[in-house]
A and B are shown apart, each in its own frame.
Chain A
Amino acid sequence: MISIRNVSKHYGSFQVLADCSTEVAKGEVIVVCGPSGSGKSTLIKCVNGLEPFQQGEIWLNGISVGDPKTNLPRLRAHVGMVFQNFELFPHMSIIDNLTVAQVKVLGRNLDESTNKSLKLLDRVGLKTQAGKFPGQLSGGQQQRVAIARALCMDPICMLFDEPTSALDPEMINEVLDVMVELAREGMTMMVVTHEMGFARKVAHRVIFMDHGRIIEDAGKEDFFGTPRSERAQVFLSKILQH
């Protein structure tokens, strides 16, 4: 489904990604972790072409993301993405947040889009909030709306960039619950997160990044059993303490 092959990216002389390669099969859930600044966000944004990269290739469902001839908007329309800061559109009601791209990007009619939006809002437990504006919801609610918004587009895979990092602790679980359910239904997911509980529960593989490199790319059991690299061990011991 997602194939990342020898991808490198630099800003001037600063190397953000160095020769990153990995594969995500259909239905697989991959957790990406690593210290801040290690290139996790950049990597995941390269997958749907939000960030350009200079070397290597990324293939998404048989389409080359880096190819200048690729119609990126069309490709992105079916790749869901959830951001650390939710990025709901503050000038639109919740329901409009969910319908706008269905209508303008997919060309669905308004009735069909509205139905779909309400169904997905219901699924994340927020159907009653449809008429409100993002600013009126809690962080956890906003992130669930953001997930529903991505799902409205019938994505072939979902990318998450630290979806719970901006949340108050008591709201993290309501978002993780939605993600766990999604993973169990077989959604292909690439999730940047430090929520190791989530990784243990549903991840198939864990990737550990440091200084723009993929240091570990291991099955969940291996990773939590004995990470091979010292960096990963140190990192794990730090984040598992709290």
Chain B
Amino acid sequence: MYEFDWSSIPGALPFLWRGMCISLEITLTAIGVGILWGTLLALMRLSKLRVLGWFAAGYVNLFRSVPLVMVLLWFFLIVPQLLEKLLGLPPGSDARLSSAIVGFALFESAYYSEIIRAGIQSVPKGQASAAYALGMTYGQAMQLVILPQAFRNMVPLLLTQAIILFQDTSLVYVSALADFFGAAYKVGDRDGRLVELLLFAGAVYFVICYSASLLVKRFQKGTSA
């Protein structure tokens, strides 16, 4: 019978907390970039200019058809060298966090752009006509009339996607980055208490994600009422 020993957790809390901060940093940056870049991709996809539409469709299909963990590895292998060249960083400087963030942001943009595209299409066409009829340009119509309504309709989906994204950040362990999951793994490995640490990490993910999804549900009820 396996004997649980939780004693290595209290001392490791500061380290785990730093890991949580990294997980949150990746999540929040990827959400921010994902929404901005995803919106641009969605607008390209809906654009009358075929070339833009093709580019966006290609981008979205590419990122939705490869496993996230592979994208992360590519970026882990490519981005550090790129950053070294572009920013003149000394070789071997630690760009694991930046490459993880870039990988996530570009990957998530593909998913966000599909949510946002559906959101834009959920706004009745007459709204755009009314905006144009008042003399608004395409940019003004989007910014003032279409996107505010689209985003209002999308909030629950965007939040749900954010929760999935937060869970997916654990995949950065492939680049040996000490995000929350990576930190827990490291501590468990060091102390020979992998089972306890992974149970603990799982419980933390569960509490955070489950409460967040309850909040989303509540929000959904609030807006549909």
Contact = CB atoms under 8 A, between A and B. Distances in A.
- Are A and B a genuine interacting pair, yes or no? yes
B137 interface: yes
Interface stretch (A97-105, A109-117, A175-183, A190-198): A97-105
B121 to A, nearest CB: 16
Contact of B135 (A85, A88, A89, A105): A105
A73 B129 contact: no
B133 interface: yes
A74 B149 CA distance: 25
Interface in A58-107: 72-81, 83, 85, 87-91, 100-101, 104-106
A87 B130 CA distance: 6
B141 to A, nearest CB: 9
Interface string A131-175: 000000000000000000110010000000000000000000000
A100 B135 contact: no
B129 A74 contact: no
B87 interface: no
A74 B144 CA distance: 17
Interface in B137-162: 137, 140, 144-145, 148-149, 152
B132 interface: yes
A89 B145 contact: yes
- Category for how many chain A residues contact B: 20 to 34
Contacts of A104: 136, 140, 144
Nearest to B141: A73
A72 to B, nearest CB: 8
Contacts of B136: 73, 101, 104-105
Interface string B119-137: 0000010110111111111
Contact of B134 (A45, A91, A105): A105
Contacts of A78: 135
Given A83-B126, A85-B126, A89-B127, A76 B133 contact: yes
Given A91-B152, A104-B140, A74 B130 contact: no
B127 A87 contact: yes
A153 B134 contact: yes
Interface of A: 45, 48, 50, 72-81, 83, 85, 87-91, 100-101, 104-106, 149-150, 153
Interface of B: 124, 126-127, 129-137, 140, 144-145, 148-149, 152
